[in-house]
Chain A
Amino acid sequence: MQTVSRRDVIRLGTVGAGSLLLAGTSATVAADPDGDPHFFLLVVLDGGADPSYMFDARPLSMTQAGKIQNYLGEEPGVWTGRNGVATLATRLVAPLRPFCDRFSVLNGVYMTPSFDGHLQNMNFLFSGSPFGGDSFIPHLNSPETGRPPGSLDAVLPTEPLFLNVNNHSSVVPLEPNALEQLAQRLRAADPPRADDVLGRFVRSRMAAAAEGEGRMAAGARRMLTSLDQAPDVHRKLAALRVPDEGMAPEPRAIALIAECFRLAMSRSAIYVLHEQFDVHDADQAKLQPKLFAEAVGKIAALFRALVETPFDAKRSMLDVTTVMVASEFGRTMRAPEMPIHATGTNHNQFANTILLGGKGIRTGLVIGATDLVDEKDTPSRAHFAMDPALEKVMGRPIDFTTLRVRPVRPDAFDIEDCLTIGSVVNTLYAAFCVPKSRYRSNGRNLPSAPVLDGLLA
């Protein structure tokens, strides 16, 4: 198995740093004066990607028994983590093999147990509520982490996601092709000024409108704060060297994100894959092998770019970035009343697969698992209670100390036994030193969802 070594990273970093760093800019100092830069990259598989085509596959015998669709038509292989835990994975994940020690696989992750809509689960991923609320992304950029905040919470070099989150005002799409022109125009323009008479007057009217209560006052306060930050963003955007248009999309995106991180323009980045994984229809579902081949290729390209793109002379982008690859949920094994050879799949919020790697994360592990491992496996009573039609695989109870699946077949569903997106986000919070007051719980009157300590480096 070919892997990318740390030595490769340093070598590539040394070679590439000179050409990527901005002239006259001490990138590390610009990004994080304490010398411990830490960023976050979220790669989103939009539409609900089926984990059975990646790291939570099922034996072909299960398809032959009519339990689960498999349009790849191949027996999956075994993917074993450094912790000795194995999972079945299809050959479609092969492009990720060189990076197998760069991320951990989390199977059987529960999203919202009560809703199976795209928006509700995407909201749940970001905010912990199916209806929306505060996203976790800006929390990673909060001064309460002890790090100087980036100017923006996150940049998206792709299309933005649909979310009902209310603190996403500093999570902004930055389409690379538009940025080149923007940077050029801003280089030719004066940044907003507060030291001239007109600038002071404009500010004074915002300040006047910001007094008191109400929506207008709140909006004016935001305008005022933003105007204070705007000269900094203006200068950073003007200094931004947009990566060459001739580059492949993924390395180009990482190069752009690297620029944003180095300039302390943002703490996080969100990259949404173009592939649409919502395959209710049989004809769509049959395209999944191609869909996943393309998507995994892109994820591998992102990892490669993270390894090969220097953050500075000593560190690669992956050295300073925590990476998460996630979809809003997984998928059912099949759709009811459709033949197994011509079935689509529906939404499964009981079993998502998430990849977590990079800075602050113990990598190469396999954590969590789902039930119904083959055609002979019988569901627990808890499973029957939540999924009477047996359309979904479900995450199995986990021991949060050992991060191993507990050998139990529960009679009743208890979210506190499960690996949840709340635990994943709280683990990110722990890695970024977000205060515990922000930690998510899995429901009212429940304690914080457990941090996966064994996953923290």
Chain B
Amino acid sequence: MMRALRQATCVALLLQPAGALAQSSQFKGWAAVSQELSIRLAPQGHPFDLDEFLPSRSMDELLGTWTTFGTEHRFRNGMPNALNMTIWHAALSGFAKAVGQSCTSPRLVFHERFLTTLHALCAWPAPAARDEGVLFAFWTSVMGYNAGEHEYAAWRDFFLREYANQSATETVAAMTFAITMNPSFLLNR
């Protein structure tokens, strides 16, 4: 009997979780990203309904979501994979396009301060829109303070260089997309 108990205890104690327990950041999830964007860009008390940009219903669950089983409360589907990356890409492309189109006809309702920044940026490629203050205000409005200064600098320099002659609608959409697809925006720290 002792042998059996010993063996049972061994099996219990020594079967450690297998290797490759790589620590990796996961996506924040659609709910968290929607909330962040609403807080930063939407009027207080009127959050965005960003679900319209998801390519299909239930897809938010594939982008990272909390689930409960008994006493277990786990975040699921947050590890980047080819499918959730495809869905993020489709959803954030749609959102970015809507922000860009807001230069000509409002697609989303923004709060006052962001609207001021957006209107200034919508003069692109005029010099007023290429102003450091305008660009930084737009960056921080969307990204928040999740990324380091070097990320902002890389983003700013890229658009000043590569989008110098593009339309405002296209540029604002691309700017928004580039920010929201940045790991600093999408991943949990």
Q: Using a CB–CB distance below 8 Å, which chain A residues touch chain B?
A: 112-115, 118-119, 127-134, 151-152, 160, 162, 164, 166-170, 172-173, 175, 178-182, 185-186, 189-192, 197-198, 201-202, 204-206, 208-210, 214-216, 218-220, 222-223, 225-227, 229-230, 232-234, 237, 381-382, 384-386, 412-415, 442-444
A227-B85 contact in complex given A129-B17, A166-B21, C-beta closer than 8 Å = yes
A386-B62 contact in complex given A178-B57, A215-B23, A216-B183, C-beta closer than 8 Å = no
How far is A416 from B140 in the complex, measured between Cα atoms in Å? 61
How far is A166 from B59 in the complex, measured between Cα atoms in Å? 21
A115-B12 contact in complex given A178-B59, A215-B24, A230-B89, C-beta closer than 8 Å = yes
Give the nearest-CB partner of B173 in chain A: A198
Q: Cβ of B80: which chain A residues have Cβ within 8 Å of it?
A: 169, 219, 222-223, 225-226
B158 lies within 8 A of chain A by Cβ: yes
Interchain CB contact (< 8 A) of A114 among B9, B72, B82, B162:
B9
Interchain CB contact (< 8 A) of B85 among A168, A185, A226, A385:
A226
Q: Cβ of B61: which chain A residues have Cβ within 8 Å of it?
A: 173
B151 lies within 8 A of chain A by Cβ: yes
Q: Tell me how far the C-beta of A398 lies from the nearest C-beta in chain B, rounded to whole angstroms.
A: 17
Q: Cβ of B16: which chain A residues have Cβ within 8 Å of it?
A: 129, 131, 133
How far is A427 from B25 in the complex, measured between Cα atoms in Å? 34
A170-B181 contact in complex given A114-B12, A134-B20, A181-B55, C-beta closer than 8 Å = no
Task: Flag if A234 contacts B86 (CB, 8 Å).
Answer: yes
- Sort chain B's interface into a size bin: 35 or more
Task: Flag if B11 contacts A172 (CB, 8 Å).
Answer: no
Q: Tell me how far the C-beta of B94 lies from the nearest C-beta in chain A, rounded to whole angstroms.
A: 8
Q: List 30 A-B contacts (CB under 8 A).
A: A112-B15, A113-B7, A131-B15, A133-B17, A134-B19, A152-B81, A152-B83, A172-B62, A182-B55, A185-B55, A191-B89, A192-B86, A198-B177, A201-B158, A201-B178, A202-B178, A205-B178, A215-B189, A216-B187, A216-B189, A219-B25, A222-B80, A222-B81, A226-B80, A226-B84, A230-B85, A413-B4, A415-B7, A415-B11, A444-B10
Q: Cβ of A237: which chain B residues have Cβ within 8 Å of it?
A: 83, 86
Task: Flag if B56 contacts A182 (CB, 8 Å).
Answer: yes
Task: Flag if B177 contacts A413 (CB, 8 Å).
Answer: no
Task: Flag if B86 contacts A162 (CB, 8 Å).
Answer: no
B77 lies within 8 A of chain A by Cβ: yes
How far is A288 from B72 in the complex, measured between Cα atoms in Å? 27
Q: Cβ of B82: which chain A residues have Cβ within 8 Å of it?
A: 151-152, 170, 226, 229-230, 232-233
Interchain CB contact (< 8 A) of B178 among A198, A214, A229, A444:
A198
B101 lies within 8 A of chain A by Cβ: no
How far is A408 from B28 in the complex, measured between Cα atoms in Å? 55
Name which of A201, A414, A442 has the most chain B CB atoms within 10 A of its CB: A201
How far is A385 from B3 in the complex, measured between Cα atoms in Å? 9
Given contacts A186-B55, A202-B181, A205-B182, 8 further A-B contacts (CB under 8 A): A162-B72, A166-B20, A181-B56, A192-B89, A205-B154, A218-B24, A230-B82, A233-B86
How far is A198 from B166 in the complex, measured between Cα atoms in Å? 12
Q: Cβ of B59: which chain A residues have Cβ within 8 Å of it?
A: 178, 182
How far is A133 from B15 in the complex, measured between Cα atoms in Å? 10
Name which of B56, B74, B154, B182 has the most chain A CB atoms within 10 A of its CB: B56
Task: Flag if B89 contacts A382 (CB, 8 Å).
Answer: no
How far is A225 from B22 in the complex, measured between Cα atoms in Å? 15
How far is A118 from B72 in the complex, measured between Cα atoms in Å? 11
How far is A331 from B87 in the complex, measured between Cα atoms in Å? 41
Task: Flag if B85 contacts A127 (CB, 8 Å).
Answer: no
**Residues of B20-34 whose CB lies within 8 A of A:** 20-26
Task: Flag if A218 contacts B158 (CB, 8 Å).
Answer: no
B90 lies within 8 A of chain A by Cβ: yes
Q: Cβ of B87: which chain A residues have Cβ within 8 Å of it?
A: 182
Interchain CB contact (< 8 A) of A223 among B56, B77, B83, B183:
B183
Q: Cβ of A220: which chain B residues have Cβ within 8 Å of it?
A: 25, 183, 187
Interchain CB contact (< 8 A) of B24 among A127, A162, A180, A219:
A219
B184 lies within 8 A of chain A by Cβ: yes
A189-B90 contact in complex given A114-B8, A166-B20, C-beta closer than 8 Å = yes
Give the nearest-CB partner of A232 in chain B: B82
Interchain CB contact (< 8 A) of B56 among A130, A185, A443:
A185
